[in-house]
Amino acid sequence: MPMPPITWQRQSARLLLDDSAVRADWDRLNDARLGVSFLCADAVAAALAVFGGGAEQLFTARADGRALAMFLLVPQGRLRWATFQPSQVPLGTWVAEPGPALDELARALVRSGALGLCLALSVSQVDPLQAERADDAADNRHADYIPTSWLEVSGPFDAYWAARGKNLRQNARKQRNKLAADGIAASMRVLRGVADMAPALARYGVIESAGWKAGRGTAIHPDNEQGRFYTRLLEGAAARGEALVTEYLFGERTVAMNLGLLRGGTWVVLKTTYDESVGKALSPASLLREDELQFIFGGSEIRRIEYYGRTMEWHTKLTDSQRTLYHLTSYRWPLVKRLAERRRERHEAVAAAAAPAPAAAAPAEAE
């Protein structure tokens, strides 16, 4: 659909924190296209408040007096801009009415002058459900990001579970038999209230801080950036009826948790953790997932589960559905794209030359 004549307005991103009119426009545009909870104004404002560096700017496309699209961008040096993209937000921070194509919006923004002299604009982590991936043009490039998985919920759980792999079902059964033999009562609880969120995150942090993420400094803790963000995100979502956290327990001991947001029948799983001290014969995360699915198929409001992270082996055991998220880079002129491609090719050639040669195959033994 051709875009109507538009003008671009540049404003401080801080308006997303406290300007009700700006927030209302953002929410309307999010709801009009993808409508995910983690891209609503409250969620983006939480990410901006915790992870923003102060240079973020909000660019709004206006047509016929209304906001048509909004992009939350960060300068990348003097001549390049990119969508604000903390790792805790699964998709790039932009919203738009469903009509305009993303590549056309990006091209219009780069050429508008609102970014100053901008040679390239990167829109990261785009969902093809949000914006269908177009063919590359002379002035833009699309690049794969990650494959991601989702699960459509339909029919009874027993039919769904019977259709999954035999090894998955046998492994789950063996684990439950072991729990019973050891006299361990396993249970799952679903948390949705505002008052539940901070204590749940504290328990989540205890588990994650004892695992491998603690060594990388990425574990959630109530006093670090991760903890502050997820507490604000989930408490805000709970106030809207959109938080859904699952917790798995052995007796009174929390051994696995999933943090998620629910809107419009779609549950997005944002974070997962499990107690690594549990013996290798048991997988609390997989047991939690089985109980989650029984709960979801058993009559919950959830009709679709979105994982949004990179597809892992365990995803493929639960669903066959995958799609690929992508990045879009829009260049000011085709010449800039050609120069960028040559530079990328040189870097790839240097990296390939520096890579160790594959080990030679061992000679076959004589018979």
Could you tell me which CATH number the domain at 154-302 has? 3.40.630.30
Helix (H, G, I), strand (E, B) or coil at 200: helix
Query: For a pLDDT cut of 70, what percent of the chain falls above it?
Result: 94
The DSSP symbol for 224 reads S
User: Which sequence spans correspond to the domains of the chain?
Assistant: 7-145+326-333, 154-302
Q: What's the rounded Cα separation, in Å, for the pair 274 and 256?
A: 4
- CA 336 vs CA 122, 139, 200, 309, 340: distances in Å: 13, 8, 49, 32, 6
Q: What's the rounded Cα separation, in Å, for the pair 269 and 260?
A: 4
Q: Do domains 7-145+326-333 and 154-302 have the same CATH topology?
A: yes
> pTM value?
0.91
The CATH number of domain 7-145+326-333 is 1.10.540: no
Confidence of residue 279 (pLDDT cuts 50, 70, 90): confident
Q: CB–CB of 97/29 below 8 Å?
A: yes
Question: What pLDDT is recorded for position 210?
Answer: 79
Other beta carbons within 10 angstroms of residue 171's beta carbon come to 16
198-209: pLDDT as tens digits: 999 999 999 988
Res. 137: pLDDT tops 70:
yes
Q: CB–CB of 188/288 below 8 Å?
A: yes
Average pLDDT over residues 355-366: 50
Helix (H, G, I), strand (E, B) or coil at 297: helix
87-125: pLDDT as tens digits: 999 999 999 999 899 999 999 999 999 999 999 999 999
- CA 241 vs CA 192, 205, 317, 323: distances in Å: 7, 23, 30, 28
Determine which helix (DSSP H) or strand (DSSP E) holds 280, and give its type and residue range.
none
Average pLDDT over residues 347-366: 64
232-247: pLDDT as tens digits: 999 999 999 999 999 9
151-164: pLDDT as tens digits: 999 999 999 999 99
Q: Which of 295, 220, 326, 307 is nearest to 38 (CA)?
A: 307
